[in-house]
Chains A and B, each alone.
Chain A
Amino acid sequence: MNNHVRELRTEQNWSQADLAERLDVSRQTINAIETGKYDPSLPLAFKIAALFGRSIESIFVPGEE
């Protein structure tokens, strides 16, 4: 799955640690999501979407399997 988390985060001028703190997860988790190495669970995806004020499908897009 691809996502726009890095772009949205940099738009806000947040570091990975800032975003991690806001979502109550580790910086490692943010890095893994941004680099596409880990797909977040639905509750975390909803939390990310709510934080950026967007819908889930505008942030997370299906990639090639």
Chain B
Amino acid sequence: MSKPRSIHRRYQREFWPAMLLYIAIMFLLWPLLPRVHNELLKIALTLLPVLPVLFVVRAKVRLVLSSDELEQRIHLIGLAVAATVVSTLSLVGGFLAAADVIQLDGTILVWVWPALVLVYAAGRGWASRRYGSSSDVLCNNGVTRYRRLLVVAMVIAAVAGLGRHQMSDYQLGMLYGMSAVLGVWGLVLAILHWRKQQRDDHEAS
């Protein structure tokens, strides 16, 4: 495993607290919105999740600016793929809604950012493999994938546990389900990682 570069360590330090804050706000504070009647407080609480997102964006911008030339090219390809896919989907959805073929609620805009992040990650992964790497430019930080999956599974389970009194059964089920799937996926990868290490040790001896 390669040693994590300082820019990746800094990115992890900046990204994870902001992301955990975002998750906590979305699942612990946002469900309180129907109970808030003061207009200003309602606007402040509604826009509160944007604050940690701005810190996530800042972390990503700093990472990209500090990356080397190939990494920047990979980021560019990922962003181009994400912009193309998400804008095309938006266009298709917009035309269908304008023609009254489908009904689209304005809240669908909330999904634009997660969709961009997901397609950007997929685009980066594809570009990284094109340049002969098995790891992603954002994830090549010395932390194995199974550890990241297990940590995310634990965080989601903790959020569900903390917010169980404020969330609907549907939300709780979704969070526990996500946590279980990611946990099992992490465990499978951990077993595969352990077996590969055993094999490598056996071959080396």
Contact = CB atoms under 8 A, between A and B. Distances in A.
Contact of B131 (A24, A38, A41): A38
Interface stretch (B42-50, B65-73, B87-95): B65-73
A13 to B, nearest CB: 18
Contacts of A24: 68
Q: Is the interface of B mostly helix, strand, loop or mixed?
A: loop
Contacts of A32: 70, 131-133
B141 to A, nearest CB: 11
Given A26-B140, A28-B140, A41 B69 contact: yes
Interface string A4-38: 00000000000001000000111111011001011
Contacts of B130: 37
A51 interface: no
Contacts of B35: none
Interface in A39-58: 40-41, 44
A44 B70 CA distance: 11
B132 A25 contact: no
Contacts of A41: 69
What size tier do the contact residues of chain B reach? 10 to 19
Contacts of B3: 17
B168 interface: no
A17 B131 CA distance: 17
A31 B133 contact: yes
Given A32-B70, A41-B69, A44-B69, A26 B131 contact: no
24 contacts: A17-B2, A17-B3, A25-B68, A25-B69, A25-B70, A26-B5, A26-B68, A26-B71, A26-B137, A26-B140, A28-B128, A28-B132, A28-B135, A28-B137, A29-B68, A29-B69, A29-B70, A29-B71, A31-B133, A32-B132, A37-B131, A38-B70, A41-B69, A44-B69
Interface of A: 17, 24-29, 31-32, 35, 37-38, 40-41, 44
Interface of B: 2-3, 5, 67-71, 128, 130-133, 135, 137, 140
Q: Which 9 A-B pairs have the closest CB atoms?
A: A25-B68, A29-B70, A28-B133, A32-B131, A37-B132, A27-B2, A37-B131, A35-B132, A29-B68
